[in-house]
Amino acid sequence: MLSVITTPPLGKLLHEFGDIKDLPDDQKVAYKPLLNWLKKKSFKLEANFPDTGEASLQVYFVLQATTAPTEEEVTFLLTLPGIDGAYEKPMEDLPG
């Protein structure tokens, strides 16, 4: 599982609107490269703490994908606007 850390402004927007594709057009412009990449790869960012209003937790997401992203895809993700970090979360650290 790939954990993704967004910038605080993007995290707040994603919690407010639910999905990057649902952002208002004026906000979407800043994250267009990320939006296009997620769409092209059929990836989706899902909030780790979907119901939180706590800004410090709104930046944590999981990259949902049918197949694990490659090292090259993760490296590219880290260059996109709105992304502060990404790391592979070991299976033993997952709940359940």
Q: How confident is the model at residue 67 (pLDDT cuts 50, 70, 90)?
A: confident
What does residue 29 show for φ and ψ, rounded to 5 degrees?
Answer: -55, -45
Does pLDDT of 90 surpass 80? no
Domain that holds residue 11: 2-93
Averaged pLDDT for residues 37-66: 94
E-strand spans in 1-96? 2-6, 44-47, 60-64, 83-88
Averaged pLDDT for residues 1-10: 94
Averaged pLDDT for residues 22-37: 95
Average pLDDT of the residues of the chain: 91
Q: Please, what is the end-to-end C-alpha distance for the chain in angstroms?
A: 14
**For strand 83-88 and strand 44-47, is the pairing parallel, antiparallel, or unpaired?**
unpaired
As for how many domains the chain has, the answer is: 1
Report CA dihedral (41, 67, 14, 88) to the nearest 10 degrees: -120
- More confident site: 96 or 23: 23
Q: How confident is the model at residue 95 (pLDDT cuts 50, 70, 90)?
A: low
